[in-house]
Amino acid sequence: MIAQQLLAAGGEVGTGEEITFWILGPVALGGAIGMVLARNAIHSALFLVLTMFSLGVFYVLQGGPFIGMVQIIVYTGAIMILFLFVLMLVGRDSSDSVVETLRGQRVAATILGIGFAALVAAAIVRGVGKAESIGLDEANAGGNVPAIATKLFSDYVFAFEVTSALLITAAVGAMVLAHVERPGGARRTQRELSKARFRDGGYPAPKPGPGVFARHDSVATPALLPDGRPAEASISPIVGTDAERSGR
């Protein structure tokens, strides 16, 4: 509420807003272009993070601090991290193939893309170029967060619930699809493994090194057991015991 008056309210553009816009506008645009042009998938994702972060700041600037913060937390914080996660597992050297499968595909795509961008830009400029934003002050009258909460949980509660149901269905679906059913007991837990190691006289501890309690510490001298007998297990089979080496 306090800082809100600093932000764009009712349509007039403040100095601070203008400065921030002219700094972050090119950054957002550069991020978008960089995302398309970057060869490395991780760099591409990072450029996208940059753009999304700038968009979050723009939302705050436009008098929507809540949506701005949520944009940063959800998009840059959670979704892009998951993206990076996957990309990292894929490996750093995997980049797109640059071989053209259709002849002239790249030129055609460039021309069509520029044409589409021009069309959309023209439509937006004609549509909202001269529009005055009205009703922002009224919408934010009781504070930005309460206003959003009231709308979301009264007027649009059904749409909200339906969306959340959709998201949960998608999450459960993803888990069902990715889940691999293992036959029961196929994979032993750490606890079972550890029990198995101790069972039936299994040897739980590290084996005694050669020379333990013996008179010599050579790798070829076996460790002595409590009753004085040599512990053959303490000698590496490569070395062989003294007895074997001397042919006794």
Partner 1 sequence: MNNEPLWLIIAKVLGVFVFLVVMTLVTIVLERKVVGRMQHRPGPNRVGPLGSLQSLADGLKLAFKEDIMPKMADKAVYFIAPVIACIPAFMAFAVIPLGPEVSIFGHRTALQLTDFSVSVLYVLACSSLGVYGIVLAGWASGSTYPLLGALRSAAQMISYEISMGLSIVAVFLSAGSLSTSDIVDAQKQWWFVVTLAPSFVIYAISAVGETNRAPFDLPEAESELVGGFHTEYSSLKFALFFLAEYINMVTVSALCTTLFLGGWRAPFGIGTLWPGANEGWIPVLWFTIKVFACLFVFIWLRGTLPRLRYDQFMQFGWKVLVPASLAWIVVLSGIRTLSAEYAMDRTRTLTIAGVVLFAVLAVLFIGAEILERRRAAAAPPESALPETHEPGGFPIPPMDLVVPPSPRLKTAVGAPDSSDRADQSDREG
**Residue 6 interacts with partner 1 (CB under 8 A): yes or no:** yes
CA distance 53 to 75: 8
Q: Closest by alpha carbon to 148, among 70, 228, 86?
A: 70
Q: Which residues contact 215 (CB under 8 A, 6 or more apart)?
A: 221
Name which position in 178, 201, 237, 238 contacts partner 1 (CB under 8 A). Answer: 201
Site residues for partner 1, 46-65, by CB under 8 A, read: 46, 49, 53, 56, 65
Q: Does 66 bind partner 1 (CB under 8 A)?
A: yes
The region that residue 143 occupies, defined by phi over 0 for left and psi between -120 and 50 for alpha, beta otherwise, is: left
Q: Cα–Cα distance between 65 and 52 in angstroms, integer?
A: 15
**Ordered DSSP codes for 139-153:** HTTT-HHHHHHHIII
Nearer to partner 1, 32 or 147 (CB): 147
Site for partner 1 contains 2 (CB under 8 A): yes
Candidates 208, 219, 239, 241; binder of partner 1 (CB under 8 A) is: 208
The reply on whether position 76 binds partner 1 by CB under 8 A is yes
CA–CA separation, 103 and 47 (whole Å): 29
Note whether 224 and 231 are within 8 A (CB). yes
**Three-point CA angle 39, 44, 46, nearest 5°:** 140
Query: Which range of residues in 28-36, 114-122, 142-150, 179-187 is near partner 1 by CB under 8 A?
Result: 142-150
> Least Å distance between CB 192 and partner 1?
9
DSSP one-letter string for 61-95: HTT-HHHHHHIIIIIIIIIHHHHHHHHHHH-TT--
30 touches partner 1 by CB under 8 A: no
Residues 97-126 that bind partner 1 (CB under 8 A): none
Q: How far is the CB of 133 from partner 1 (least distance, A)?
A: 20
Contacts with partner 1 by CB under 8 A: the residue count is: 57
Among 5, 94, 97, 101, indicate the residue that binds partner 1 (CB under 8 A): 5
Closer to partner 1 by Cβ: residue 11 or 240: 240
Tokens of 120: 């959309």
Residues at the interface with partner 1 (CB under 8 A):
1-6, 40, 42-43, 46, 49, 53, 56, 65-66, 69-70, 72-73, 76-78, 81-82, 84-85, 88-89, 92, 143-145, 195, 198-201, 203, 205, 208, 212-213, 215-216, 218, 220, 223-226, 228-229, 231, 233, 242, 245-246
